[in-house]
Amino acid sequence: MKSPKNIKALEQLPINLMGFIFYEKSPRNVTRKSGIKIRKGVAKVGVFVNASIDFVMEKAKAHQLDYVQLHGQENLFYCQQLRQAGLHLIKAFSVDENFSFANTKGYEFYCNYFLFDTKGKNPGGNGFAFDWKLLKAYKGKTPFFLSGGIGEKDADAIKELNFKNLKGLDLNSKFEIKPALKDIQKIKNFIDAIHS
């Protein structure tokens, strides 16, 4: 999210988290220095890709982020440093048929949530889904979010998923008018469909 007007509209919906990308190669990159404001009850998530610890700490403080989502090749020591600094972490993993969920094991000590996204040419926002049946191989205890090309037509399939640790959905490119500008009505329709 970037546009204050779009943020204001989105926060009226029954959502739990709102994402802000701090990655200069992304068209969704947030450039403002400080002052992202959203209503109480919606957590602010800052998304970072292989950023320096100092950069993450600076943005987390400036924007009062509730969670830091790590979407690169951040290692365990990196996560440990952020956790010891008091940050709450979401670690993203890019999933395809060659991904081993054993790779998540060490991160359980430091991360509040995992995010399973589609492996593609970009760190995220590739716009297509991976085979969700692969999630049956995840035996970890850390709750996770499902990401990767989720669109309006996926509501029925998502309702059929039976993964006890699936705690939420990451909606992005399929609900955009253009990068960082969300179609509020589409999101509302999808939320209604999920809850129907």
What is the per-residue pLDDT for 21?
A: 96
Examine the pLDDT at 19 and tell me if it is beyond 80: yes
Number of domains in the chain: 1
Q: How confident is the model at residue 39 (pLDDT cuts 50, 70, 90)?
A: very high
- Cα separation, 97 vs 112, in Å, equals 25
Residue 85, phi then psi, degrees to nearest 5: -80, 0
Pairing of strands 181-182, 176-178: antiparallel
For residue 120, is it within any domain? yes
CATH at 13? 3.20.20.70
Q: How confident is the model at residue 124 (pLDDT cuts 50, 70, 90)?
A: low
**Is 192 a domain residue?**
no
Mean pLDDT, residues 55-60 = 97
In a domain, 195, yes or no: no
Residue 125 has pLDDT above 60, yes or no: no
Q: What residues make up the domain containing 78? A: 4-178
Q: Is the pTM of this model over 0.85?
A: yes
**Token digits for 40?**
């109480």
The answer to whether 115 and 147 are in contact (CB under 8 A) is yes
Which band of pLDDT confidence, cut at 50, 70 and 90, is reported for residue 119?
confident
Counts for the chain of helices (H) and strands (E), in that order: 5, 9
pLDDT for 127 beyond 80 = no
Query: Strand pairing partners for 70?
Result: 48, 91
- Report if residue 168 sits inside a domain: yes
DSSP label at 105?
G
Q: Compute CA distances 151 → 35, 168, 170, 191, whole Å.
A: 30, 14, 10, 11
Residue 194 lies in a domain: no
196 within domain boundaries: no
| Percent share of the chain, pLDDT over 70 | 96
pLDDT score recorded for residue 24: 95
Does 59 map to a domain? yes
Instruction: Identify whether 122 is part of a domain.
Output: yes
Task: Give the separation between CA 119 and CA 100, rounded to whole angstroms.
Answer: 12
Would you say residue 121 has pLDDT above 70?
A: no
pLDDT in tens, 130-174: 999 999 999 999 999 999 999 999 999 999 999 999 999 999 999
